[in-house]
Each structure stands twice: as structure tokens, then as C-alpha cells.
Amino acid sequence: MALKNEPINKKVDLKGLRTQDESFEVGFDGMVTADNVDYTRKGKVGRRPGRADTTYVPGGTIHSAWADKRLFIFQEGTTLKKFRAATDVTTLRTGLTTGGKLSAYRVANTVYWSNEFDTGVIDIEGNDRALGVAVPDRAFAVAISGNLAAGRYSHTFSQVETDGRESGSPQPVTTELAENSGLSFTLTPGLARRFWLSETNGDTLYLAGTVLAGASSFTYENRQPLTNIALDRMLQGPPPAWQDVDWFRASLLLGVNDNLLWTNEYNYELVDLATRFMPFGERIHVIAGLEDGFYVGTENAHFWLSGTDMSSLALTQVADYGAVPGTKTRINGTVVGTGEATEPLPVWTTHAGVVVGLPGGQLKNIHEKIVDFPNASVNGTALYRKTGKQNHYISVINGV
């Protein structure tokens, strides 16, 4: 921690989260030495709640963790694990890449996570699976005899998991057919598929058939009306690994290197990389969503984005200093200021102190001109705790 224009050993009063003290004096001469206490802003000490120590001895290096009130996960070496108690640690996945940090977001009973290299989903049962369904390879057709009219046909496939989740589709293939022809495909056996086909010489693809799981071939040769279900996932795929994530207007917001990406509405396992992104020119460290907009903190600046349509957001720069990655958490809005906020508010550490993201793009720096972290360019971690009537935001930062 660097203190502006102050000796490094001088106590600095940091006025941040609103608190109410329940404290007492110690002895006739005041406190000389005390353990296991909290020091209040009024110069008194308060009882600190007791804690029971539990120790988990890892088999490797623990370098990243994420938790909410329902789930605690961490990466130990190349393994993702779930922690419930020191004697109840479960392996969720092995073979992960090291070097990043865990970032996750819960939507109802599902947690979407990434460690900057790998991605996954943890379901209501606490089990991990892959994020999204793999896009199938392009499938080329061979003309056969059938009942299709002469003309040009565009076609493609999507894959469907057993739980109903569907992949995106690759670029369609176009085949010219003579009168009374059909289409024949040789497929790699795997998941069930949906077959999408255009009308004769048409451009829009519609659902035209299904392929059972494990099938190695498929033919389409009937001159029959197509369904009215149009293809809406062309050139889309699973989200790439991210360094930070949040939620806004039914989409997950992803910080992928220096790009902001957003998933399909209410489908957090599909993203259109051709249209659903916004470049920021430098690495994104923090994304913090609220009901009326969201903040993006990069290496050297902060921005507020708002609007009803993700494709036409209004962007305003709200700070000229950068965010420290990994330090974002949520606090109860009623403990900030006079307590008028009704939604949970994001709080994180920046190069100029700790900030709270208020609605309307009001970025409140509660430590401005008091404390800064000018060299905090590596990463950090943070938590919010409420102990008694005290509200604490605690962050640990590398690179200071």
C-alpha cells in the first residue's frame, strides 16, 4: 500500500463502508495489548467473533479460488476442486492449464467458470461439465436420386446434447442439384444432429430433419415443406476462456483479452464472435454489472456502458486509472453512503484506491487522494465480510 505524501508508518483513516460500532474500553488506562479484536474508527476495540480453524493440506500449489454462499472451488495445480470442509474436498476436473485465475458467475443453480485458459459449468448437483456444445465440422453432400427440384441448396448441421443443449452451426455448404435429386451425407458418429436446409435457391435455412446419435450417414430426398423454424445460430460457438465475467440484460459479459464479449440472451453457452464484441484496445481487468448499465475497468481507465440494446450502448469514460484484476466482489448496497442503494453493488481495487460502482455510472472512489496502488498491475483477490455490525472489504494485491 502506498500512501500519497504521508510517511509509510502513519495510520490513515479510510472512510468507506458505513458501520455501527459496538465497542468497549479496556482497563482504566486504555488498551495496551489485545488479541482477537477489531479496531473501530472511533479508536475503540470491538469483540471479534470466534473462528474454528480447519486445515486442508494440498498436494500441489493452490493459486486461484472462487466462492459464493453456495459453492467454493479452487484450482490446485492442474486440478479443479470443490471444497466443503477440510475433510470433504472433491475433484471436479483434471488436466487444466495453470497460470491464470478463476473467474465465475452464478445464474440461478448454474455456475459458469474460467481460469483464463479453460472453461466449464458446475450444475446444481455440484458436477462439472464442458461449457457449450462443440460445433460440428462442415458436411459436404453427394447428389443422389430423389424428389428435390433443380436448383441451389444451402445446408448445415448443429449438434444436440442429451440434455437438449444445442451447438452453433458452421458455415453452410451450397450444393447444386438437378431435377429429382437428393442429398447424401457421410458423418462422424457422435451426438444427435439437426439438419438445416434452404428452400430451392433460397438464403434462409430452416430445420429440415434430425439425425440420431451415433449415426454415420444421413440422406434428404423428399420434396416436402420445411418447418418454420429458422436457423438462428449460424457461425456461433461456445464462449472462449475469459479473465472476468458479469451479467447484464440477460447476457453474460466476458472480458477476453482486450475485447468485451456478450453471450446470446438467456443462452450463456453460445456467443457470436463476429458481431457480439467490443474492442477496448487494452486488456480488460474488471467487468461490473448493475441494473442500468455496467462498468469496464481496463489496464489504464474505467468506462460506464448503458442502454437497452447491447449493439448500441452508450460509452462514457469515468476514470483515468486502471483496475486491479481479481479484486471485484459484491457488497450490500444499504451499507454504502446513506444506504439508498437497493441492489448489491460491485466494489473493487484500482490503481487509485478502492471504488464502489454506483448506478448511473457514478464511480465512487472512497480512498481517492489517500491511498493508491500505482504498480498493482499483476493481480489480486478480495472478499466482503460482515462481522457484527462492521462491514469489511478486504483485498490482497500482488505487484505493489
91: confidence class by pLDDT, cuts 50, 70, 90: very high
Q: Cell 462439472 maps to which residue?
A: 128
Give the least confident one: 15-19, 92-96, 245-249. Answer: 15-19
Biggest CA-to-CA distance, the chain: 104
Q: Would you list the DSSP string of 83-138?
A: EEETTEEEEEE--PPPSS--EEEEETTEEEEE-SS-EEEE-TTS-EE-SS-PPPPP
Q: Which alpha helices (H) appear in 241-312, and where do they start and end? A: none
Averaged pLDDT for residues 137-149: 95
Task: Collapse the DSSP code of 73 into the 3-class scheme (helix H, G, I; strand E, B; otherwise coil) and give the result.
Answer: strand
Is the pLDDT at 35 greater than 80? The verdict is no
Q: How far is CA 292 from the centre of its chain?
A: 18
Those residues whose C-beta lies under 8 Å from the C-beta of residue 92, and which sit 6 or more positions away, are 73, 80, 81, 82, 120, 122, 127, 128
Q: Give this prediction's pTM.
A: 0.85
- Other Cβ atoms closer than 10 A to 123: 12
Q: Is the pLDDT of residue 3 over 60?
A: no
Amino acid identity at 377:
S
- Find the length of the chain: 400
In a 10 Å sphere around its CB, with 0-12 CB exposed, 13-18 middle and 19+ buried, how is residue 48 labelled?
Answer: middle
Residue 373 has pLDDT above 90, yes or no: no
- The percentage of the chain sitting over the pLDDT mark of 90, rounded to a whole number, equals 66
Neighbours of 306 (CB within 10 A): 16
Answer yes or no: are the C-beta atoms of 112 and 254 closer than 8 Å. Answer: no
Q: Does residue 97 surpass a pLDDT of 60?
A: yes
Q: Which of 29-33, 85-89, 122-126, 219-223 has the lowest mean pLDDT?
A: 29-33
Cell of 160: 444436440
Strand 314-319 with 329-331, pairing:
unpaired
- Report the pLDDT value the prediction gives residue 12, as an integer from 0 to 100: 45
Give me the pLDDT at residue 346, please: 95
Query: With 50 as the cut, is the pLDDT of residue 242 above it?
Result: yes
pLDDT of residue 325: 93
Whole-number Å distance between alpha carbons of 318 and 295? 9
Residue 28 confidence (pLDDT) above 70: no
pLDDT of 30: 55
Residue 41 has pLDDT above 80, yes or no: no
pLDDT single digits (tens) 229-241: 999 999 999 999 9
Answer yes or no: is pLDDT of 26 > 70: no
- Give per-residue burial for 72-106: e unless 16+ CB within 10 Å, then b: ebbbbeebbbbbeeeeeeeebbeebeeebbbbbbb
Determine the pLDDT at residue 94: 97
Taking the C-alpha atoms of residue 318 and residue 320, their distance in angstroms, rounded to an integer, is 7
CA 247 centroid distance within chain: 8
Give per-residue pLDDT as tens, 250-288. 999 999 999 999 999 999 999 999 999 999 999 999 999
Q: Are strands 217-220 and 244-248 parallel, antiparallel or unpaired?
A: unpaired
Q: For residues 195 and 280, what is the distance between their CA atoms, to the nearest angstrom?
A: 38
Q: How much is the average pLDDT of 18-33? A: 52
Judged by DSSP in three states, 359 sits in: helix
- Across 11-25, 37-51, 229-243, 246-260, least confident range: 11-25
Best CA proximity match to 382, nearest among 307, 338, 330 = 330
8 A C-beta contact, residue 116 and residue 241: yes
